[in-house]
Amino acid sequence: MSKLLANLNPEQLQAVTLPPQHALILAGAGSGKTRVLTTRIAWLIQSGQADPGGILAVTFTNKAAKEMLARLGAMLPVSTRGMWVGTFHGLANRLLRAHHRDAGLPQLFQILDSADQLAAIKRLLKTLNVDDEKFPPKELQHFINGQKEAGVRPHAVEAWDDYTRHRVQLYQEYEAQCQREGVVDFAELLLRSYELLERNEPVRRHYQRRFRHILVDEFQDTNRLQYRWLKQFADEGREGGASMFCVGDDDQSIYGFRGAEVGNMRDFEREFRVSSVIRLEQNYRSRGNILDAANAIIRHNANRLGKNLWTDQGAGEPIRVYEAYADLDEARWIVEEIQSLVRDGLTRAEIALLYRSNAQSRVLEHQLFSAGIPYRVYGGLRFFERQEIKHALAYLRLIANADDDTAFARVVNFPTRGIGARSIEVLQDAARVYNTSLYATVPHLTGKPGTVLAQFVRLIEDMRRDTARLPLPELVDHVLELSGLRAHYKAEKEGHERLENLDELLNAAANFLAEADAGAEAMRQDHALLADFLAHASLEAGEHQADQGSDAVQLMTVHSSKGLEFDVVLLSGLEEGLFPHENSILEPTGLEEERRLMYVAVTRARERLYLSFAQSRMLHGQTRYNLRSRFIEEFPPALLKWLTPPSVRTSTSAAFGGSARGSYYTPSSGRAPRPAPPPPASAALPGGLRVGQLVRHARFGQGVIIAAEGSGSDARAQINFGDAGVKWLLLAVAKLEAA
């Protein structure tokens, strides 16, 4: 026992050894929350308060779940195989598999990932002859998922206008299509399992008796439905229900756009009458100056649960700030700084270049490429989302469930087998008439469409028969051959990489088989593990597999950086409208989420943090002129080391008449420092305008010109529009009128 609890700080020890009760653990960045959660589970088992089967632990990524199980296996001499440790979607899938009849699903139901769901929606719109310009598939997908995540079925959606009513009808048709095909999307997994628990008391009571301890990681990222799902297991927090142990950080809630509800933490504290709120504030990652900066930033947010990070590792270096004239200058400087860090002995893999928006990466990538610096964009196309893998999985899905129309449509003519668009249209029309799946409709067709489609059906039937009792890897291998996928990619000029990926799918199947917890009886059933493997593939889609062994600079958005840490972090593009993003100003809590995002970015750095911004930036084909981010102003000045003299013009104070003069270093240019153009104090501008004049803009209203630069078609003015803020406008485009 003492070994298990060794090296825990007092707050961690208090959290781990709490008696069975509801608890909220406010765990700051780098405070060892994963260790606390895992040790808590191990301590409950070792102290005899719970057995492995009586614990429900929920994480947000498959990677985190696997890491937790691996740590538990190392801590305790117990098998973790039967434990309910996984993601919300993974555990919901497990529940529905066990109670598929009660949930109204076929035994071998398949899971649609985001791309498959979009394809299914497009197919629905085409079948119903709905204009996809009036009802864009992606928007409809967002609408459907939003309703499901709110726990709302079509009949309960409030529709006050014809457009919404039509969307609700499409939502209803989509549900009918999924039910007919025996498929569920990600949002449906959670909603269907929640409804099963809510409406089926025997099932609900069974799991409430079974799980006496519920532990949740990253609780700040839960949406309303996920929280309601957890409450079903915990008997709504009633006396005698399971103990809820929730670990999270309200300061790192950055997924509001995905439906994450930071208010769940306060609701949990109130509804479960939580008496134990423990703050993990000691940080084991970053130096003191970085933590002081993070604390100063996040302090500007209201309604926080409250935390103040600290470390005993010393203050470390100041935070370096660089102001560039343009984005190209900023990128050049970043590359030169990276080169200098590498010369000093730092590995490239320990350097992260963060940005708020993906669009910012182009100029950075160009400079890194030009300098010959290896880099990796964190994210990218994932294994199970690659084209050739999706094709292979579609064939496997048809073997498991022939009524899966999305899988059918994907591979019916891939590789090409003479089935044209007209044949597919005839099939879809017939499927509508007979109210059957595409596969089941084929025998009803005559003529050429019936002949060519029947050949495809025979191919699937042959594959299903020939693979009935094969082990999973051999089954996959057989399908790759019979489907013609291997032959197709062998014939492709650049098909080598795709063939390697198909071979890797065999490895994925073999690994899954080795890890699967299947009994001898299950193994004797036809295609026993195929449905589980396909569910695994759908749930794993989105899990990034980083390249191994290469030393490369890491490029990523701030959102992608959450959960990661690096020795050096360079955060670029700190400009108003970019970070904080301009869209955040329009949302009531948008700016606070942007500030939490800034907090996440800062706390990724262990040793050294750089902040940079540019006076002008090319984005989406346009040059933008921005003020420096308000977040820079929120840092205590004593923590900052300016690598360039801070220009008043680009600070907030410039909006109220500050000087526009300032000089800027241009890396490797061999030129003298470049001055920013001064404002002509009384020079006439196009249209007879001048500094100090009152003007009117069609969108921003009335304002006063406070600075100007350039001439002719390049002339631009800085205008204070009062409530609308301070803007730099290109006069050739702005169409200002004298007020």
Q: What is the reported pLDDT for 671?
A: 36
Task: Out of 188, 218, 261, 592, pick the active-site residue.
Answer: 218
CB 222 within 8 A of CB 268: no
Predicted TM-score of the model (pTM): 0.72
Average pLDDT by consecutive 10-residue portion of the chain (739 residues)? 80 91 90 90 90 90 85 83 89 95 93 92 93 86 92 91 93 95 94 95 94 93 92 86 90 76 88 90 93 94 87 94 92 95 94 87 81 79 74 94 92 88 90 92 90 93 90 90 90 72 81 65 65 83 50 89 92 92 80 93 96 81 77 94 75 36 36 37 62 82 80 77 77 79
Cα 535 from Cα 516, distance rounded (Å): 12
- 339-344 contact pairs (CB < 8 A, 24+): 339/371, 339/373, 341/568
Cα 369 from Cα 377, distance rounded (Å): 12
Cα 709 from Cα 79, distance rounded (Å): 71
Beta-bridge partners for 569: 352, 609
DSSP 628: B
Task: Out of 217, 221, 261, 532, pick the active-site residue.
Answer: 217
Catalytic (active site) residue 737: no
Q: What is the reported pLDDT for 408?
A: 94
Task: Out of 110, 252, 311, 554, pick the active-site residue.
Answer: 252
Task: Out of 167, 192, 332, 604, pick the active-site residue.
Answer: 604
Q: What is the reported pLDDT for 493?
A: 60
Q: What is the reported pLDDT for 436?
A: 93
Catalytic (active site) residue 252: yes
Token code pair at residue 5:
């609890």
- In a 3-state reduction of DSSP, which class is residue 642? strand
Catalytic (active site) residue 33: yes
DSSP H or E segment with residue 718: strand 716-720
Q: What is the reported pLDDT for 461?
A: 94
Q: What is the reported pLDDT for 659?
A: 33
Catalytic (active site) residue 217: yes
CB 733 within 8 A of CB 623: no
Per DSSP, the residues of 78-112 read S--TT-EEEEHHHHHHHHHHHTTTTTT--TT-EEE
Task: Out of 11, 12, 34, 149, pick the active-site residue.
Answer: 34
Task: Out of 11, 33, 208, 709, pick the active-site residue.
Answer: 33
b/e code 130-166 from CB counts within 10 Å (16+ = b): beeeebebeebbebbbebbbbbbebeebeeeeeeeee
> Helix, strand, coil proportions of the chain in percent (round to 5)?
50, 15, 35
